[in-house]
Chain A
Amino acid sequence: MRHFRFPPQLFRLVLLTLAIVGAYLVARTLLTPQSFGEYGWYRGSALAEIASRTPVFAGKKACAECHADIAQKMAQSEHKTFSCEACHGANREHAMDHDVVPAKVPDSYCLRCHEGNPSRPSWIKQIVVKDHYGEKCSDCHLPHQPTQSP
């Protein structure tokens, strides 16, 4: 019986295949970001990167830490659903550093919600500006307790 010899051309083919598969595996380990596949087919560390943005709005809780008196008044008024920053604007800087003075609310700001508009639901009080008394809203209405007068 003749001794079986593995054909050299096949042997080279096997070696080449192994080299290609090996190169692919090495390249994949090197090129795939470490957190890829942590939660799914994406970079898991992207979650933390997206979350690392700094917030701009401080949130109602932060305001109430110092301005508890106003927060308490507002909690009983029609404006109880308001976040302070809805009218006073984004004020995280003021919450972090009390020396930063927040901008004043323009007097016509009330109209943003209360100007009559046929698309607005009827539950919100609306006025037609030219038919309404007075010039300044705050002459007759306290913004924090809108049904009370100063």
Chain B
Amino acid sequence: MKTQFNRRSALARLGATIAGALALPVARKAKAAVQYFLVSSGAPKGYDPKDHKWLICVDATKCIGCGLCAEACKKENGVPEGPYFRTWIERYIITKPKPGSEETRGETLVDSPDGGMHGFPECPVPKDQIEQSFFVPKLCNLCEHPPCVQVCPVGAAFKAPDGAVLIDPDYCIGCGFCVQACPYGARFLNPITHTAEKCTLCYHRITRGLKPACVEICPAEARIFGDLKHLAPDDPLQQFYETHRTQVLKPYLGTEPRVLYAGLDEEVR
């Protein structure tokens, strides 16, 4: 049997293929529209990321090292057990200088057992040897110029218009470039999903008008959270950065973090 393949049928097939290709995006748009109105995805509606600019201030002098924030973060975000943290507390112990030395201080020891989420064990240094000791809460520094986003080869890491640095879990291929690029150690590879993970600023909470879990739970008010585009006249955030001298971590990297620290020692990086 001879196949019928003349100019007329070839043109018709070509036309049908092009029409089909053009109809597909239209059909997908229609599907998305139907989904938006009829199917509830659980995402809060009416949140416009361009209408917010989030900022976190951390008062390091207030942190009491209870670890409730690290524990709450794990619970809230379902972070797997083990050494995986989206926020954690570091304990700094600066020892006294050796007798006869002209230094003002000795060695600096930093530890964070279990991210501090179960509190801290006895000081490894006897009390009379300690010059100074303090806790520092750490989290994603919400960089204005995030190095982790720059290195992502697939467009999975991004900075949302509201300042949150997020990861698209569907697009992340788990290459780990961003984990290496982050100068603050705020990212890790989830051992279950094998994708990169980090503090989302509790995106599911802030879009519903709640505070991030660590801010909500901190009993010492060491973390202050707010929206720069909607500051109340007596906003704790504004009061904080007006009355405290703040600094960012590793300013020389030019990342311009949106996490401002007050009361940091020079040893903290």
Contacts and interface: CB of A to CB of B under 8 A. Distances in A.
Bound pair (A, B): yes
Interface of A: 26, 29-30, 34, 36, 39-43, 46-57, 59-60, 79, 81-83, 85-86, 90, 112-113, 115, 117-121, 123-124
A90 B73 CA distance: 11
B76 A55 contact: yes
Contact of A57 (B123, B127, B158, B213): B213
B159 interface: yes
B42 A52 contact: yes
Contacts of A120: 64-65, 135
A84 B220 CA distance: 13
A117 B123 contact: yes
B219 A48 contact: no
A126 to B, nearest CB: 9
B235 interface: no
B211 interface: yes
A49 B169 CA distance: 9
Interface stretch (B24-32, B96-104, B183-191, B247-255): B24-32
A121 B123 CA distance: 14
B109 to A, nearest CB: 11
A86 B211 CA distance: 14
A9 to B, nearest CB: 22
A56 B134 contact: no
The 10 residue pairs across chains A and B that have the minimum distance between CB atoms: A42-B158, A53-B204, A46-B168, A48-B43, A52-B42, A52-B43, A119-B133, A51-B207, A56-B76, A113-B66
B15 interface: no
Among A36, A40, A86, max chain B CB count under 10 A is at: A86
Nearest to A45: B32
A51 B29 CA distance: 21
A82 B220 CA distance: 7
A123 B221 CA distance: 13
Given A48-B41, A81-B221, A30 B158 contact: no
Contacts of A119: 65, 91-93, 120, 123, 133-135
Interface of B: 21, 24-25, 28-29, 32, 41-44, 47, 49-50, 61-68, 72, 75-77, 91-93, 119-120, 123, 127, 130, 133-135, 155-161, 166, 168-171, 200, 202-205, 207-208, 210-211, 213, 216-221
Contacts of A118: 123, 127, 130, 133
Given A41-B155, A46-B171, A90 B28 contact: no
B119 A52 contact: no
Nearest to A37: B155
B76 A90 contact: yes
A86 B213 contact: no
A26 B171 CA distance: 21
B96 to A, nearest CB: 12
